[in-house]
Chains A and B, each alone.
Chain A
Protein backbone atom coordinates (compact mmCIF):
# COMPACT_ATOMS: atom_id res chain seq x y z
CA UNK A 1 0.00 0.00 0.00
CA UNK A 2 0.99 3.59 -0.66
CA UNK A 3 0.73 5.66 2.54
CA UNK A 4 0.21 9.39 2.09
CA UNK A 5 -0.43 12.32 4.37
CA UNK A 6 -2.63 14.89 2.69
CA UNK A 7 -3.01 18.33 4.21
CA UNK A 8 -5.25 21.26 3.33
CA UNK A 9 -4.76 24.82 4.54
CA UNK A 10 -5.20 28.49 3.69
CA UNK A 11 -8.94 27.90 3.42
CA UNK A 12 -8.72 24.81 1.15
CA UNK A 13 -9.76 22.75 4.20
CA UNK A 14 -13.22 24.33 3.94
CA UNK A 15 -13.85 22.08 0.91
CA UNK A 16 -12.97 19.03 3.01
CA UNK A 17 -15.32 19.38 5.95
CA UNK A 18 -12.80 21.64 7.70
CA UNK A 19 -10.47 18.66 8.25
CA UNK A 20 -6.88 19.75 7.66
CA UNK A 21 -4.98 16.48 7.88
CA UNK A 22 -5.88 13.19 6.20
CA UNK A 23 -3.95 9.89 6.36
CA UNK A 24 -4.74 7.78 3.33
CA UNK A 25 -3.74 4.40 1.91
CA UNK A 26 -3.79 3.76 -1.82
CA UNK A 27 -3.59 0.47 -3.61
CA UNK A 28 -0.22 0.48 -5.36
CA UNK A 29 -0.93 -2.02 -8.13
CA UNK A 30 -0.51 0.90 -10.48
CA UNK A 31 1.75 3.90 -10.14
CA UNK A 32 0.29 7.06 -8.69
CA UNK A 33 1.10 10.53 -9.99
CA UNK A 34 -0.37 13.80 -8.74
CA UNK A 35 -2.67 13.66 -11.77
CA UNK A 36 -4.35 10.49 -10.50
CA UNK A 37 -4.21 11.66 -6.90
CA UNK A 38 -6.22 14.80 -7.71
CA UNK A 39 -9.02 12.70 -9.19
CA UNK A 40 -8.90 10.31 -6.23
CA UNK A 41 -9.15 13.26 -3.80
CA UNK A 42 -12.10 14.67 -5.71
CA UNK A 43 -13.89 11.29 -5.58
CA UNK A 44 -13.00 10.32 -2.01
CA UNK A 45 -12.23 13.32 0.18
CA UNK A 46 -13.92 16.35 -1.36
CA UNK A 47 -17.18 17.25 0.35
CA UNK A 48 -18.60 19.81 -2.11
CA UNK A 49 -17.89 22.28 -4.92
CA UNK A 50 -15.47 20.25 -7.10
CA UNK A 51 -15.06 23.32 -9.36
CA UNK A 52 -13.38 25.08 -6.43
CA UNK A 53 -10.71 22.36 -6.37
CA UNK A 54 -10.21 21.14 -9.92
CA UNK A 55 -10.31 22.99 -13.22
CA UNK A 56 -9.64 21.42 -16.63
CA UNK A 57 -8.31 18.20 -15.05
CA UNK A 58 -5.68 19.97 -12.98
CA UNK A 59 -5.65 21.89 -9.73
CA UNK A 60 -7.59 25.13 -9.78
CA UNK A 61 -5.15 27.99 -10.34
CA UNK A 62 -4.57 29.74 -7.02
CA UNK A 63 -4.21 26.53 -4.99
CA UNK A 64 -0.55 25.74 -4.30
CA UNK A 65 0.74 22.17 -4.01
CA UNK A 66 3.80 21.08 -2.03
CA UNK A 67 5.20 17.57 -1.82
CA UNK A 68 7.34 17.02 1.28
CA UNK A 69 7.52 20.81 1.64
CA UNK A 70 8.74 21.35 -1.92
CA UNK A 71 6.89 23.36 -4.55
CA UNK A 72 5.36 20.94 -7.07
CA UNK A 73 6.50 23.37 -9.80
CA UNK A 74 10.00 21.96 -9.12
CA UNK A 75 8.85 18.34 -9.27
CA UNK A 76 7.18 18.05 -12.64
CA UNK A 77 3.69 19.09 -11.49
CA UNK A 78 1.00 16.60 -12.51
CA UNK A 79 3.48 13.93 -13.60
CA UNK A 80 5.29 13.71 -10.23
CA UNK A 81 5.25 10.06 -9.16
CA UNK A 82 4.25 9.61 -5.54
CA UNK A 83 6.38 7.59 -3.09
CA UNK A 84 5.38 5.81 0.09
CA UNK A 85 5.06 8.24 3.05
CA UNK A 86 4.94 11.35 0.88
CA UNK A 87 3.30 14.38 2.41
CA UNK A 88 1.15 16.35 -0.05
CA UNK A 89 0.00 19.82 1.05
CA UNK A 90 -2.62 21.97 -0.66
CA UNK A 91 -2.68 25.67 0.25
CA UNK A 92 -5.37 27.96 -1.09
CA UNK A 93 -4.34 31.52 -1.90
CA UNK A 94 -7.90 32.39 -2.85
CA UNK A 95 -9.36 32.87 0.61
CA UNK A 96 -9.66 36.22 2.42
CA UNK A 97 -6.75 38.65 2.46
Chain B
Protein backbone atom coordinates (compact mmCIF):
# COMPACT_ATOMS: atom_id res chain seq x y z
CA UNK B 1 0.00 0.00 0.00
CA UNK B 2 2.01 3.00 -1.23
CA UNK B 3 1.77 6.14 0.90
CA UNK B 4 1.25 9.47 -0.82
CA UNK B 5 3.38 12.57 -0.19
CA UNK B 6 1.94 14.79 2.52
CA UNK B 7 3.06 17.95 0.70
CA UNK B 8 2.02 17.50 -2.95
CA UNK B 9 -0.45 14.70 -2.32
CA UNK B 10 0.40 13.33 -5.77
CA UNK B 11 3.63 11.37 -5.81
CA UNK B 12 4.48 8.25 -3.90
CA UNK B 13 6.31 9.01 -0.65
CA UNK B 14 9.84 7.66 -0.40
CA UNK B 15 10.86 8.83 3.05
CA UNK B 16 9.49 9.36 6.52
CA UNK B 17 11.09 12.50 7.93
CA UNK B 18 12.50 11.77 11.39
CA UNK B 19 12.01 15.30 12.73
CA UNK B 20 8.33 15.58 11.79
CA UNK B 21 7.14 12.09 10.89
CA UNK B 22 5.94 13.42 7.51
CA UNK B 23 5.89 11.07 4.52
CA UNK B 24 7.36 12.80 1.47
CA UNK B 25 8.11 12.18 -2.18
CA UNK B 26 11.61 12.65 -3.56
CA UNK B 27 11.09 16.11 -5.08
CA UNK B 28 9.28 17.53 -2.03
CA UNK B 29 11.95 16.08 0.26
CA UNK B 30 14.74 17.74 -1.75
CA UNK B 31 12.84 21.01 -1.57
CA UNK B 32 12.10 21.07 2.18
CA UNK B 33 15.58 19.76 3.01
CA UNK B 34 17.22 22.62 1.12
CA UNK B 35 14.70 25.21 2.34
CA UNK B 36 15.27 24.29 6.00
CA UNK B 37 19.01 24.81 5.58
CA UNK B 38 18.33 28.11 3.80
CA UNK B 39 16.16 29.13 6.75
CA UNK B 40 18.89 28.17 9.24
CA UNK B 41 21.38 30.26 7.24
CA UNK B 42 19.15 33.32 6.95
CA UNK B 43 17.76 33.18 10.51
CA UNK B 44 21.28 33.13 11.93
CA UNK B 45 22.53 35.62 9.27
CA UNK B 46 25.46 33.31 8.55
CA UNK B 47 26.60 34.89 5.28
CA UNK B 48 27.10 38.43 4.01
CA UNK B 49 27.47 39.24 0.31
CA UNK B 50 31.09 39.32 -0.79
CA UNK B 51 32.31 36.96 1.92
CA UNK B 52 34.64 34.10 1.17
CA UNK B 53 33.41 30.90 2.81
CA UNK B 54 35.68 27.90 3.39
CA UNK B 55 33.89 24.55 3.44
CA UNK B 56 35.69 21.99 5.59
CA UNK B 57 35.63 19.08 3.13
CA UNK B 58 36.54 15.56 4.23
CA UNK B 59 35.07 13.66 1.30
CA UNK B 60 32.53 12.10 3.69
CA UNK B 61 28.74 12.33 3.49
CA UNK B 62 28.18 15.46 5.57
CA UNK B 63 30.69 17.76 3.91
CA UNK B 64 29.85 16.43 0.44
CA UNK B 65 26.15 17.21 0.91
CA UNK B 66 27.07 20.56 2.53
CA UNK B 67 29.16 21.62 -0.48
CA UNK B 68 26.40 20.57 -2.88
CA UNK B 69 23.58 22.30 -0.95
CA UNK B 70 25.55 25.51 -0.33
CA UNK B 71 26.42 25.77 -4.00
CA UNK B 72 22.76 25.21 -4.89
CA UNK B 73 21.45 27.78 -2.38
CA UNK B 74 24.12 30.35 -3.23
CA UNK B 75 22.89 30.26 -6.81
CA UNK B 76 19.18 30.03 -5.98
CA UNK B 77 19.12 32.87 -3.43
CA UNK B 78 22.08 34.97 -4.55
CA UNK B 79 23.94 34.90 -1.24
CA UNK B 80 26.79 36.46 -3.20
CA UNK B 81 29.42 34.46 -1.33
CA UNK B 82 32.51 32.81 -2.76
CA UNK B 83 32.71 29.13 -1.81
CA UNK B 84 36.01 27.25 -1.51
CA UNK B 85 36.72 23.69 -0.41
CA UNK B 86 39.30 23.21 2.31
CA UNK B 87 40.63 19.74 3.08
CA UNK B 88 43.04 18.53 5.70
CA UNK B 89 45.42 15.71 4.81
CA UNK B 90 46.45 14.08 8.07
CA UNK B 91 48.86 11.78 6.26
CA UNK B 92 47.12 8.48 6.94
CA UNK B 93 47.96 6.07 4.15
CA UNK B 94 44.97 4.33 2.62
CA UNK B 95 42.43 6.46 4.53
CA UNK B 96 42.95 10.02 3.42
CA UNK B 97 44.21 8.99 0.00
CA UNK B 98 40.78 7.64 -0.93
CA UNK B 99 38.70 10.33 0.75
CA UNK B 100 40.81 13.09 -0.84
CA UNK B 101 40.13 11.49 -4.23
CA UNK B 102 36.43 11.91 -3.48
CA UNK B 103 36.94 15.59 -2.53
CA UNK B 104 38.81 16.10 -5.81
CA UNK B 105 35.92 14.60 -7.79
CA UNK B 106 33.55 16.98 -5.98
CA UNK B 107 35.84 19.89 -6.76
CA UNK B 108 35.53 19.14 -10.47
CA UNK B 109 31.82 18.34 -10.40
CA UNK B 110 30.80 21.39 -8.34
CA UNK B 111 33.44 23.61 -9.94
CA UNK B 112 34.74 24.90 -6.60
CA UNK B 113 38.39 25.73 -5.82
CA UNK B 114 40.13 23.31 -3.43
CA UNK B 115 43.00 23.77 -1.00
CA UNK B 116 44.53 20.71 0.65
CA UNK B 117 46.58 21.45 3.76
CA UNK B 118 48.77 18.70 5.17
CA UNK B 119 49.87 17.93 8.72
CA UNK B 120 53.32 17.51 7.29
CA UNK B 121 53.58 21.08 5.98
CA UNK B 122 51.94 22.52 9.12
CA UNK B 123 53.59 20.46 11.84
CA UNK B 124 56.40 18.52 10.17
CA UNK B 125 54.75 15.21 11.10
CA UNK B 126 52.25 12.96 9.31
CA UNK B 127 49.71 10.98 11.37
CA UNK B 128 51.43 7.76 10.27
CA UNK B 129 54.70 9.04 11.76
CA UNK B 130 52.95 10.26 14.92
CA UNK B 131 51.32 6.86 15.46
CA UNK B 132 54.76 5.23 15.17
CA UNK B 133 55.92 7.47 18.05
CA UNK B 134 52.88 7.55 20.33
CA UNK B 135 51.23 4.22 19.60
CA UNK B 136 47.52 3.78 19.09
CA UNK B 137 46.33 4.90 22.48
CA UNK B 138 46.51 8.68 22.27
CA UNK B 139 46.67 9.17 18.52
CA UNK B 140 43.10 10.51 18.33
CA UNK B 141 44.08 13.28 20.77
CA UNK B 142 46.88 14.38 18.46
CA UNK B 143 44.78 14.07 15.34
CA UNK B 144 41.83 16.01 16.77
CA UNK B 145 43.92 18.88 18.17
CA UNK B 146 45.95 19.17 14.99
CA UNK B 147 42.92 19.01 12.70
CA UNK B 148 41.15 21.82 14.48
CA UNK B 149 44.08 24.15 14.01
CA UNK B 150 44.74 22.93 10.48
CA UNK B 151 41.34 24.13 9.26
CA UNK B 152 41.95 27.55 10.81
CA UNK B 153 45.42 27.82 9.33
CA UNK B 154 44.20 26.66 5.93
CA UNK B 155 41.43 29.25 6.21
CA UNK B 156 43.99 31.98 6.96
CA UNK B 157 46.09 30.98 3.95
CA UNK B 158 42.99 31.12 1.73
CA UNK B 159 41.82 34.38 3.30
CA UNK B 160 38.33 33.10 4.14
CA UNK B 161 35.94 35.12 6.31
CA UNK B 162 34.22 32.06 7.74
CA UNK B 163 34.56 28.30 7.90
CA UNK B 164 31.54 26.05 7.58
CA UNK B 165 31.57 22.42 8.70
CA UNK B 166 29.17 19.54 8.10
CA UNK B 167 28.33 18.94 11.79
CA UNK B 168 24.75 17.71 11.82
CA UNK B 169 22.00 17.52 14.46
CA UNK B 170 23.10 14.03 15.54
CA UNK B 171 26.69 15.26 16.03
CA UNK B 172 25.53 18.23 18.09
CA UNK B 173 23.19 16.14 20.28
CA UNK B 174 26.08 13.75 20.88
CA UNK B 175 28.45 16.60 21.78
CA UNK B 176 25.93 18.14 24.19
CA UNK B 177 25.61 14.77 25.87
CA UNK B 178 29.39 14.26 26.10
CA UNK B 179 30.00 17.72 27.51
CA UNK B 180 27.40 17.02 30.20
CA UNK B 181 29.09 13.73 31.09
CA UNK B 182 32.48 15.43 31.24
CA UNK B 183 31.12 18.37 33.20
CA UNK B 184 32.65 20.74 30.67
CA UNK B 185 30.59 23.85 31.20
CA UNK B 186 32.53 26.03 28.75
CA UNK B 187 32.08 23.63 25.85
CA UNK B 188 28.49 22.85 26.82
CA UNK B 189 27.76 26.56 26.37
CA UNK B 190 29.59 26.84 23.08
CA UNK B 191 28.61 23.59 21.39
CA UNK B 192 24.99 24.58 20.75
CA UNK B 193 25.75 27.94 19.14
CA UNK B 194 25.54 27.94 15.37
CA UNK B 195 28.63 30.14 15.07
CA UNK B 196 31.65 29.78 17.33
CA UNK B 197 35.09 31.30 17.73
CA UNK B 198 34.30 34.89 16.90
CA UNK B 199 37.15 36.20 19.04
CA UNK B 200 40.47 35.99 17.23
CA UNK B 201 40.03 32.82 15.24
CA UNK B 202 38.03 32.49 12.03
CA UNK B 203 34.31 32.08 12.90
CA UNK B 204 32.97 28.58 12.35
CA UNK B 205 29.38 27.89 11.38
CA UNK B 206 27.25 24.77 11.30
CA UNK B 207 24.49 25.14 8.68
CA UNK B 208 23.41 21.50 9.37
CA UNK B 209 22.80 22.22 13.06
CA UNK B 210 19.15 21.17 12.78
CA UNK B 211 19.61 18.63 9.97
CA UNK B 212 19.25 14.95 10.82
CA UNK B 213 21.95 12.56 9.72
CA UNK B 214 19.29 10.24 8.29
CA UNK B 215 18.12 13.00 5.95
CA UNK B 216 21.67 13.91 4.90
CA UNK B 217 22.34 10.29 3.96
CA UNK B 218 18.97 9.94 2.18
CA UNK B 219 19.60 13.19 0.29
CA UNK B 220 23.01 11.97 -0.84
CA UNK B 221 21.49 8.62 -1.83
CA UNK B 222 18.63 10.01 -3.91
CA UNK B 223 20.81 12.74 -5.46
CA UNK B 224 23.46 10.07 -6.17
CA UNK B 225 26.18 12.23 -4.61
CA UNK B 226 29.60 10.67 -4.54
CA UNK B 227 31.07 10.38 -1.06
CA UNK B 228 33.59 8.24 0.72
CA UNK B 229 32.77 6.25 3.85
CA UNK B 230 35.12 4.30 6.03
CA UNK B 231 36.32 4.07 9.57
CA UNK B 232 39.62 5.76 10.33
CA UNK B 233 42.28 3.02 10.27
CA UNK B 234 43.53 4.19 13.66
CA UNK B 235 41.22 3.20 16.48
CA UNK B 236 38.09 5.32 16.76
CA UNK B 237 37.21 7.13 19.98
CA UNK B 238 35.32 4.51 21.97
CA UNK B 239 33.80 6.99 24.39
CA UNK B 240 32.36 9.09 21.57
CA UNK B 241 31.22 5.91 19.85
CA UNK B 242 29.16 4.95 22.88
CA UNK B 243 27.62 8.42 23.08
CA UNK B 244 26.78 8.10 19.40
CA UNK B 245 25.00 4.78 19.84
CA UNK B 246 23.08 6.16 22.80
CA UNK B 247 21.78 9.01 20.60
CA UNK B 248 20.90 6.53 17.83
CA UNK B 249 19.08 4.28 20.30
CA UNK B 250 17.04 7.26 21.50
CA UNK B 251 16.24 8.18 17.89
CA UNK B 252 15.01 4.65 17.20
CA UNK B 253 12.59 4.90 20.14
CA UNK B 254 11.47 8.46 19.45
CA UNK B 255 12.87 10.24 16.39
CA UNK B 256 12.27 13.72 17.81
CA UNK B 257 14.75 13.05 20.64
CA UNK B 258 17.67 14.49 18.69
CA UNK B 259 16.10 17.86 18.03
CA UNK B 260 14.73 17.93 21.60
CA UNK B 261 18.23 17.42 23.03
CA UNK B 262 19.47 20.34 20.92
CA UNK B 263 16.62 22.55 22.10
CA UNK B 264 17.34 21.54 25.69
CA UNK B 265 21.04 22.30 25.20
CA UNK B 266 20.22 25.72 23.80
CA UNK B 267 18.10 26.49 26.83
CA UNK B 268 20.75 25.54 29.33
CA UNK B 269 22.18 28.87 30.37
CA UNK B 270 25.20 29.44 32.54
CA UNK B 271 24.50 31.82 35.38
CA UNK B 272 26.47 35.03 35.34
CA UNK B 273 28.52 34.20 38.42
CA UNK B 274 29.79 30.95 36.92
CA UNK B 275 33.49 31.28 36.08
CA UNK B 276 34.31 30.39 32.50
CA UNK B 277 37.82 29.85 31.12
CA UNK B 278 39.59 33.00 29.97
CA UNK B 279 40.59 32.71 26.34
CA UNK B 280 44.13 33.96 25.78
CA UNK B 281 46.61 33.25 23.04
CA UNK B 282 49.45 30.78 22.72
CA UNK B 283 52.81 32.46 23.34
CA UNK B 284 54.44 30.33 20.66
CA UNK B 285 52.03 30.34 17.73
CA UNK B 286 49.37 32.94 18.61
CA UNK B 287 46.44 30.51 18.41
CA UNK B 288 43.61 31.01 20.94
CA UNK B 289 44.27 29.02 24.09
CA UNK B 290 43.39 28.99 27.77
CA UNK B 291 47.00 27.99 28.55
CA UNK B 292 50.23 29.87 27.81
CA UNK B 293 50.99 27.10 25.30
CA UNK B 294 48.21 25.85 23.06
CA UNK B 295 47.46 22.14 22.93
CA UNK B 296 49.00 21.72 19.50
CA UNK B 297 52.29 23.41 20.48
CA UNK B 298 52.38 21.33 23.64
CA UNK B 299 51.88 18.06 21.75
CA UNK B 300 54.31 19.15 19.04
CA UNK B 301 57.03 19.95 21.58
CA UNK B 302 56.59 16.46 23.01
CA UNK B 303 56.90 14.87 19.58
CA UNK B 304 59.95 16.89 18.61
CA UNK B 305 61.74 16.18 21.90
CA UNK B 306 60.89 12.48 21.87
CA UNK B 307 58.45 12.86 24.80
CA UNK B 308 55.14 12.03 23.16
CA UNK B 309 53.35 11.90 26.53
CA UNK B 310 53.87 15.64 26.94
CA UNK B 311 50.60 17.46 26.73
CA UNK B 312 48.46 14.45 27.61
CA UNK B 313 47.13 14.68 31.14
CA UNK B 314 49.23 16.23 33.91
CA UNK B 315 52.82 16.61 32.84
CA UNK B 316 54.31 19.23 35.15
CA UNK B 317 56.85 16.79 36.53
CA UNK B 318 57.86 15.63 33.05
CA UNK B 319 58.40 19.22 31.94
CA UNK B 320 60.55 19.98 35.03
CA UNK B 321 62.59 16.81 34.63
CA UNK B 322 63.55 17.73 31.07
CA UNK B 323 64.07 21.43 31.82
CA UNK B 324 61.21 22.62 29.64
CA UNK B 325 59.52 25.94 30.27
CA UNK B 326 56.43 25.39 32.43
CA UNK B 327 52.98 25.13 30.90
CA UNK B 328 50.41 26.93 32.99
CA UNK B 329 46.80 27.98 32.77
CA UNK B 330 45.97 31.56 31.97
CA UNK B 331 43.20 31.23 34.55
CA UNK B 332 44.03 31.72 38.21
CA UNK B 333 42.43 28.48 39.32
CA UNK B 334 41.20 25.66 37.13
CA UNK B 335 39.10 24.46 40.06
CA UNK B 336 36.66 27.22 39.28
CA UNK B 337 35.89 25.62 35.95
CA UNK B 338 34.14 22.56 37.27
CA UNK B 339 30.52 22.26 36.35
CA UNK B 340 28.18 22.75 39.28
CA UNK B 341 24.52 22.07 38.84
CA UNK B 342 23.68 25.28 40.71
CA UNK B 343 25.35 27.23 37.90
CA UNK B 344 23.03 25.81 35.28
CA UNK B 345 19.49 26.87 34.73
CA UNK B 346 16.89 26.85 32.03
CA UNK B 347 16.36 30.09 30.19
CA UNK B 348 12.97 31.42 31.11
CA UNK B 349 12.24 32.37 27.55
CA UNK B 350 8.68 33.37 26.86
CA UNK B 351 8.46 32.34 23.21
CA UNK B 352 7.75 28.71 22.63
CA UNK B 353 10.69 27.09 20.88
CA UNK B 354 9.02 23.91 19.76
CA UNK B 355 7.35 23.33 16.43
CA UNK B 356 3.83 23.77 17.78
CA UNK B 357 3.48 27.13 16.06
CA UNK B 358 2.35 28.87 19.22
CA UNK B 359 3.91 32.15 20.24
CA UNK B 360 3.75 31.63 23.93
CA UNK B 361 4.89 28.88 26.18
CA UNK B 362 1.53 28.65 27.91
CA UNK B 363 -0.48 27.81 24.84
CA UNK B 364 1.93 25.07 23.80
CA UNK B 365 0.83 21.64 24.81
CA UNK B 366 3.76 19.98 23.13
CA UNK B 367 5.88 17.42 24.93
CA UNK B 368 9.05 19.28 24.06
CA UNK B 369 8.72 21.49 27.11
CA UNK B 370 8.18 18.54 29.36
CA UNK B 371 11.12 16.69 27.93
CA UNK B 372 13.23 19.82 28.44
CA UNK B 373 12.33 19.78 32.08
CA UNK B 374 12.87 16.07 32.33
CA UNK B 375 16.28 16.36 30.73
CA UNK B 376 17.16 19.19 33.06
CA UNK B 377 16.27 17.03 36.03
CA UNK B 378 18.42 14.27 34.62
CA UNK B 379 21.23 16.76 34.08
CA UNK B 380 21.18 17.71 37.72
CA UNK B 381 21.33 14.08 38.70
CA UNK B 382 24.26 13.32 36.42
CA UNK B 383 26.13 16.42 37.53
CA UNK B 384 25.57 15.64 41.18
CA UNK B 385 26.84 12.12 40.72
CA UNK B 386 29.97 13.42 39.07
CA UNK B 387 31.01 15.79 41.81
Contact = CB atoms under 8 A, between A and B. Distances in A.
Contacts of B228: 96
A1 interface: no
Interface stretch (A21-29, A32-40, A69-77): A69-77
Contact of B14 (A10, A14, A70, A96): A70
A80 B30 CA distance: 26
Interface footprint category on A: 20 to 34
Contacts of A46: none
Contacts of A92: 229
A64 interface: yes
B249 A64 contact: no
A96 B58 contact: yes
B369 interface: no
B58 A91 contact: no
A93 B58 contact: no
A71 B229 CA distance: 21
Nearest to A13: B229
Contacts of A64: 214, 217-218
Contacts of B245: 61-62
Nearest to B15: A71
B250 to A, nearest CB: 9
Given A71-B14, A71-B15, A74-B23, A96 B232 contact: yes
Interface residues of B, number: 36
A96 B227 CA distance: 10
B213 interface: yes
B66 to A, nearest CB: 10
B231 A74 contact: no
Nearest to A68: B14
B16 interface: yes
B256 interface: no
B230 interface: yes
Of the candidates B58, B63, B214, the one having the most CB atoms from chain A within 10 angstroms of its own CB is B214
Interface string B153-165: 0000000000000
B214 to A, nearest CB: 6
A73 B252 contact: no
A45 interface: no
A71 B249 CA distance: 18
B16 A61 contact: no
B99 interface: yes
A96 B60 CA distance: 6
Interface in B192-251: 213-214, 216-218, 221-222, 228-232, 244-245, 248-249, 251
B217 A11 contact: no
A97 B230 contact: no
A94 B23 CA distance: 23
A92 B248 CA distance: 12
Given A71-B14, A74-B23, A91 B221 contact: yes
B171 interface: yes
A86 B153 CA distance: 50
Given A10-B229, A94-B244, A96-B228, 4 more contacts: A70-B15, A74-B23, A97-B61, A97-B171
18 contacts: A11-B229, A14-B230, A14-B231, A61-B245, A64-B217, A70-B2, A71-B13, A71-B15, A71-B16, A73-B15, A74-B14, A93-B216, A94-B248, A95-B230, A95-B231, A96-B61, A96-B231, A97-B60
